[in-house]
Amino acid sequence: MKSYRKELWFNTAERISFVNITQDVQTAVKESGIKEGLCLVNAMHITASVFINDNESGLHQDYKEWLEELAPHEPISHYRHNLTGEDNGDAHLKRQIMGREVVIAITDGKLDFGPWEQIFYGEFDGRRRKRVLIKIIGE
Protein backbone atom coordinates (compact mmCIF):
# COMPACT_ATOMS: atom_id res chain seq x y z
CA MET A 1 0.00 0.00 0.00
CA LYS A 2 1.20 3.50 -0.86
CA SER A 3 0.17 6.75 0.76
CA TYR A 4 0.61 10.36 -0.23
CA ARG A 5 -0.02 13.62 1.65
CA LYS A 6 -0.25 17.17 0.41
CA GLU A 7 -1.54 20.47 1.76
CA LEU A 8 -3.18 23.28 -0.20
CA TRP A 9 -3.08 26.80 1.23
CA PHE A 10 -5.67 29.56 0.86
CA ASN A 11 -6.07 33.18 1.84
CA THR A 12 -9.31 34.36 0.26
CA ALA A 13 -10.02 38.05 -0.32
CA GLU A 14 -13.65 37.69 0.78
CA ARG A 15 -15.14 36.37 4.00
CA ILE A 16 -17.17 33.81 2.02
CA SER A 17 -15.64 32.31 -1.10
CA PHE A 18 -15.65 29.10 -3.15
CA VAL A 19 -12.44 27.99 -4.86
CA ASN A 20 -12.30 25.23 -7.49
CA ILE A 21 -9.52 22.84 -6.42
CA THR A 22 -10.26 19.98 -8.83
CA GLN A 23 -7.01 20.38 -10.79
CA ASP A 24 -4.95 20.64 -7.60
CA VAL A 25 -6.39 17.36 -6.36
CA GLN A 26 -5.90 15.67 -9.73
CA THR A 27 -2.27 16.85 -9.70
CA ALA A 28 -1.81 15.32 -6.24
CA VAL A 29 -3.25 12.02 -7.49
CA LYS A 30 -0.73 12.02 -10.33
CA GLU A 31 2.13 12.87 -7.96
CA SER A 32 1.09 10.01 -5.67
CA GLY A 33 1.55 7.38 -8.39
CA ILE A 34 -1.51 5.63 -6.97
CA LYS A 35 -3.69 3.94 -9.61
CA GLU A 36 -6.44 2.38 -7.45
CA GLY A 37 -7.45 3.75 -4.08
CA LEU A 38 -9.24 6.42 -2.10
CA CYS A 39 -8.53 10.13 -1.89
CA LEU A 40 -9.60 12.13 1.18
CA VAL A 41 -9.80 15.91 0.80
CA ASN A 42 -10.70 17.81 3.97
CA ALA A 43 -10.68 21.31 5.36
CA MET A 44 -8.17 21.51 8.23
CA HIS A 45 -10.11 24.44 9.71
CA ILE A 46 -13.53 24.30 11.32
CA THR A 47 -15.08 27.28 9.53
CA ALA A 48 -14.40 25.91 6.04
CA SER A 49 -15.68 23.07 3.87
CA VAL A 50 -14.64 20.85 1.02
CA PHE A 51 -17.56 19.84 -1.17
CA ILE A 52 -18.33 18.48 -4.62
CA ASN A 53 -20.85 20.17 -6.85
CA ASP A 54 -21.26 22.11 -10.08
CA ASN A 55 -18.81 24.73 -11.35
CA GLU A 56 -21.57 27.25 -12.09
CA SER A 57 -21.45 30.80 -10.73
CA GLY A 58 -25.23 31.19 -10.41
CA LEU A 59 -25.38 28.08 -8.23
CA HIS A 60 -22.56 29.37 -6.06
CA GLN A 61 -24.51 32.60 -5.53
CA ASP A 62 -27.56 30.47 -4.64
CA TYR A 63 -25.50 28.58 -2.06
CA LYS A 64 -24.25 31.79 -0.48
CA GLU A 65 -27.73 33.29 -0.17
CA TRP A 66 -29.23 30.04 1.12
CA LEU A 67 -26.53 29.56 3.74
CA GLU A 68 -27.00 33.17 4.82
CA GLU A 69 -30.73 32.47 5.34
CA LEU A 70 -30.04 29.27 7.28
CA ALA A 71 -27.26 30.77 9.44
CA PRO A 72 -27.04 34.58 9.14
CA HIS A 73 -23.74 36.29 9.89
CA GLU A 74 -25.52 39.10 11.73
CA PRO A 75 -26.43 39.98 14.35
CA ILE A 76 -23.03 38.85 15.64
CA SER A 77 -24.51 38.75 19.14
CA HIS A 78 -26.93 36.00 18.08
CA TYR A 79 -24.21 33.39 18.55
CA ARG A 80 -22.84 32.46 21.98
CA HIS A 81 -19.64 31.38 20.27
CA ASN A 82 -19.04 35.05 19.46
CA LEU A 83 -18.82 35.83 23.19
CA THR A 84 -15.30 34.39 22.86
CA GLY A 85 -14.41 37.48 20.82
CA GLU A 86 -14.90 35.80 17.43
CA ASP A 87 -17.46 36.93 14.86
CA ASN A 88 -17.57 33.60 13.02
CA GLY A 89 -20.31 31.70 14.84
CA ASP A 90 -22.30 31.52 11.61
CA ALA A 91 -19.30 30.07 9.74
CA HIS A 92 -19.22 27.01 12.04
CA LEU A 93 -22.89 26.36 11.19
CA LYS A 94 -22.53 26.94 7.44
CA ARG A 95 -19.63 24.51 7.35
CA GLN A 96 -21.83 21.72 8.75
CA ILE A 97 -24.30 22.12 5.88
CA MET A 98 -21.60 22.02 3.21
CA GLY A 99 -19.46 19.38 4.95
CA ARG A 100 -15.86 19.03 6.12
CA GLU A 101 -14.57 16.52 3.62
CA VAL A 102 -15.05 14.45 0.51
CA VAL A 103 -13.77 10.96 -0.24
CA ILE A 104 -13.17 10.25 -3.92
CA ALA A 105 -12.45 6.97 -5.68
CA ILE A 106 -9.23 6.76 -7.70
CA THR A 107 -9.46 4.48 -10.72
CA ASP A 108 -6.76 4.11 -13.39
CA GLY A 109 -4.79 6.90 -11.73
CA LYS A 110 -7.60 9.47 -11.99
CA LEU A 111 -10.39 10.94 -9.89
CA ASP A 112 -13.33 8.68 -10.70
CA PHE A 113 -15.96 11.35 -11.32
CA GLY A 114 -19.35 11.74 -12.91
CA PRO A 115 -19.70 14.29 -15.71
CA TRP A 116 -20.23 17.43 -13.62
CA GLU A 117 -18.40 16.70 -10.38
CA GLN A 118 -15.92 19.38 -9.35
CA ILE A 119 -14.24 19.83 -5.96
CA PHE A 120 -14.52 23.15 -4.12
CA TYR A 121 -12.92 24.68 -1.09
CA GLY A 122 -15.71 26.53 0.73
CA GLU A 123 -14.49 29.40 2.88
CA PHE A 124 -16.89 30.92 5.44
CA ASP A 125 -14.42 32.99 7.49
CA GLY A 126 -11.70 34.04 5.08
CA ARG A 127 -9.08 36.76 4.86
CA ARG A 128 -6.62 34.58 6.76
CA ARG A 129 -4.31 31.68 5.83
CA LYS A 130 -6.03 28.31 5.97
CA ARG A 131 -5.33 24.81 4.70
CA VAL A 132 -6.84 21.80 2.98
CA LEU A 133 -5.38 18.30 3.43
CA ILE A 134 -5.19 15.73 0.65
CA LYS A 135 -4.46 12.16 1.75
CA ILE A 136 -4.38 9.36 -0.78
CA ILE A 137 -4.00 5.65 -0.08
CA GLY A 138 -3.93 2.75 -2.50
CA GLU A 139 -1.63 1.02 -4.96
Q: State which residue, 23 or 107, has the beta carbon closest to its own copies.
A: 107
Which of these ranges, 10-18, 25-33, 76-84, lies near its own copies under the rule CB under 8 A?
76-84
**Cβ contacts of 97-101, under 8 Å, gap ≥ 24:** 97/67, 97/70, 97/71, 98/49, 98/51, 98/63, 98/67, 98/122, 99/49, 99/50, 99/51, 100/42, 100/43, 100/49, 100/50, 101/40, 101/41, 101/42, 101/43, 101/50
Residue 85 interacting with its own copies (CB under 8 A):
no
Which of these ranges, 11-19, 23-31, 73-81, lies near its own copies under the rule CB under 8 A?
73-81
Residue 121 interacting with its own copies (CB under 8 A):
no
Q: Which residues bind its own copies (CB under 8 A)?
A: 1, 3, 5, 36-38, 40, 42-46, 51-54, 56, 58-59, 61-63, 66, 70-71, 79-84, 89, 92-93, 95-105, 107, 112-117, 131, 133, 135, 137-139
